[in-house]
Amino acid sequence: MPTPTPHISAAAGDFAEAVLLPGDPLRAKHIAENHLDDATEVTAVRNMLGFTGSYKGMPVSVMGTGMGVPSASIYATELIVEYGVRRLVRVGSCGGFAPGVEIRDLILAVGACTDSMVNRSRYDGKDFAAVADFRLLRAAGRAAETLGLEIKAGLVHTSDLFYGAGPSPSDAMQRMGVLAVEMEAAGLYGLAAECGARALTILTVSDQLITGDRSSADERQTTFDDMVHLALDALVLDAE
């Protein structure tokens, strides 16, 4: 699978070794235009936009992943295997449900439970512990302190179904202390482990699944920008 790949039209060397991964390609464009210096578009296959620029002098790329483990896994695999990406930070949204988890909260996904089968496929049918890279996690914790951003760190659940068949969140998720549900982290963590890359997922709570609270478009934009700032500062700290 040489470059360009089936899903990414960038040339070899077009991506930095560190990449931010929002689900929405227009969020990738927003990050490139508002958070990076000298960003240029490097891929647009299927409108899944990718950009490379710099932040505080560090080369960094940003690319959309689409929604769900299969879509995110396609892009992340090609970025790691063919473009040499080594550090991947997903910046996404989630539905929070644990007590004390409110809309606009920032969550560091220390680990990701899942109903997806991808990590069992990778791990001989057994249960792989899909966890964040410790150094990236620690860097994000430190960056949050410096920025004065409050964070919650813990488990999330990566679901294959947005419109679930059962109660969402399940009793087990609540009993076991899971904070929120999203749709990509467990796949990203398993893939990073398999490919020798390092990954972290940072999330903002867009919906409170128990109370039904939803953040407004304005609130989502502000918390999204805080999260991007945190992710970029974490990547800089991690590189020091």
* Binding site residues, ligand HPA, CB under 6 A: 93-95, 159, 162, 181-183, 206-207, 209
CA distance 114 to 195: 20
70: Cβ contacts below 8 Å, ≥ 6 apart: 187
From 207, 225, 226, 238, the catalytic residue: 207
The DSSP H or E segment spanning 220 is helix 217-239
Q: Closest approach of Cβ 161 to ligand HPA, in Å?
A: 8
Q: Give whichever of 93 and 119 is closer to ligand HPA, judged by the CB atom.
A: 93
* Of residues 3 and 168, the one with the C-beta less far from ligand HPA: 168
Q: Which is nearer to ligand HPA, 8 or 69 (CB)?
A: 69
Distance of closest approach, residue 141 Cβ to ligand HPA, in angstroms:
23
Contact 23, 91 (CB under 8 A): no
Q: Around 123, how many Cα atoms within 13 Å sit in the side-chain half-sphere? A: 17
Q: Considering the complex, what minimum distance in angstroms separates the CB of residue 119 from ligand HPA?
A: 18
Which position's Cβ is nearest ligand HPA?
95
Closest by CA position to 153, among listed 188, 119, 203: 203
Q: Catalytic: 218? A: no
- Which are the contacts of 4, defined by CB distance < 8 A and separation ≥ 6? 10, 11, 43
Judging by beta carbons within 10 Å of its beta carbon (0-12, 13-18, 19+), is residue 166 exposed, middle or buried?
A: exposed
Nearest distance from C-beta of residue 145 to ligand HPA, angstroms? 26
Cβ proximity to ligand HPA, 94 vs 137, nearer residue: 94
User: Nearest distance from residue 23's CB to ligand HPA, in Å?
Assistant: 9
Question: Cα dist. 97→94, 146, 169, 201 in Å?
Answer: 10, 27, 7, 18
Between 80 and 91, CB nearer to ligand HPA: 91
Q: Which residues pair with 43 in a beta bridge?
A: 50
* Catalytic residue IDs: 207
